[in-house]
Chain A
Amino acid sequence: MADLHLPSTLPPLFAGLPRRLELDVATVGDALDELDRRWPGLRDRLCEPGPALRQHIHVYVDRRRAQLDTELEARSRVDVITAISGG
């Protein structure tokens, strides 16, 4: 089970969405698919058409920068970060 950590700006948009949850998935893209299945519309917040991660959404798997096709191991930690920008 991958250990997924989400940014604080996401839960206010989706009822019942926690900051942290465990998912049994093979890739980062699969994790977002599963999140979108449980909370419809969530993928649109993190991905652009293509699909690709939005410019200012960064995903790290076990502290390494990841993309949608990055594979997850059984105990991987996945951090979804809103990059530092704006003001």
Chain B
Amino acid sequence: MSRTVLIVGTRKGCFLLESDEARRDWELRGPFCEGWPVYHAIHDAGSGTVYAAAASEWLGSSVWRSHDLGETWQQSSEGLGYGDGEGGLKLSKVSGLTARDGRLFAGAEMPGVFESRDGGETWSLLTTLDGQPGREEWNDPANQPPGHLGVPAILPHPDDAARYWAVVQGIGIFETTDDAASWTPRNRGLRADWPREHEEIGFCVHKLVMSPADSDRLYQQNHVGVHRSDDAGVSWTEITEGLPSEFGFAAAAHPHDRDTFYVIPLDAGHGRCMPEGSAAVWRTRDAGASWQRLSDGLPQRDAHVGVLREGMAIDGHERPGLYFGTSTGQLFASADEGESWSELASYLPGITSVEVAVLD
């Protein structure tokens, strides 16, 4: 029987939860990573390693790794920093991790992508996306939002190791097909409710996902709206209509059906909580033509909770399980594609990321 493992990053360490295929009973372990704030923790299916991007207020940024599902951990930041030749760039944190084909990518702020080819023991700078429109202005302090700009995510292509997409906060999506030698902005059709100096950039992409069933089908939760692409990001169509809010962070694509996609709408104001204190995940089964509110088992009153960009995950079971963690430490799960929910943990530290792995 397969095991289902949740990898949960929090503001005070990483936690692991384990269950079987039924996903009814869960065992929680942690905190790991010495209680460091974890921004994104993942499981590398290729090596079986758990990685956690973390940044201690005292001891700096580092990437932790565990080869035995949390029993033992090491950390390294060797090479994980901008050198003197990088125009004064300073690495303040590692925002997002992606493992693929024996490589580990780390998106960083200030904006750049580092890679490790030895399982996180050493790192090297892969790209700072130099030459892209407006690139020289990205790090201007006057342009920095409260969270600062960085590269929160790398989305790999499943069949082409040299092809992947990078998201730059507040700037947009860029695609490379030659392993970061060159990049192309991929934001055509997106909406922006603010003036932009450059036609191709200036879009606020919160979360970009690809359908595991169709690599041309991408979805994104944007600062303004939810959007779909049927041509691998070359063009985008807005599919927000029917949702209670155009704003949100987390998103997940169904593993078997390219037309099924999930988001968690939030109030767009500074609170950024689920609307009216009522928790819900929203699902489309027709590529965004219509949306269903999924809330059975979720708190429906006085639930002023938010979910961050990496805070939702979906597993690969035949009937997929859906999981999300709130920035106030509640972890919810559904073993039936979101139809019904249960609370797996109530008092974790603020949750920054949720990932799931199914192990044979």
Contact = CB atoms under 8 A, between A and B. Distances in A.
B62 A54 contact: no
Given A9-B34, A13-B34, A41-B76, A54 B81 contact: no
B284 to A, nearest CB: 40
Contacts of A86: 57-58
Contact of B59 (A9, A49, A85): A9
A44 B63 CA distance: 12
Secondary structure dominating the interface of B = loop
Contact of A44 (B60, B82, B83): B60
Interface in A38-78: 40-41, 44-46, 48-49, 54, 56-57
Contact of A41 (B34, B77, B83): B77
B68 to A, nearest CB: 15
A12 interface: yes
A85 B34 contact: no
Secondary structure dominating the interface of A = loop
B139 to A, nearest CB: 16
Contacts, number: 44
A9 to B, nearest CB: 7
Contacts of A12: 34
Contacts of B78: 40-41, 44
A65 to B, nearest CB: 16
B75 interface: yes
Given A44-B77, A44-B78, A56 B57 contact: yes
Contacts of B83: 49
B57 A85 contact: yes
A27 interface: no
The residue in B57, B76, B77 that gathers the most chain A C-beta atoms within 10 A of its C-beta is B57
Contacts of A56: 57-58
A12 to B, nearest CB: 5
Contacts of B84: 49
The residue in B56, B77, B84 that gathers the most chain A C-beta atoms within 10 A of its C-beta is B56
Interface of A: 7, 9-10, 12-13, 40-41, 44-46, 48-49, 54, 56-57, 82-83, 85-86
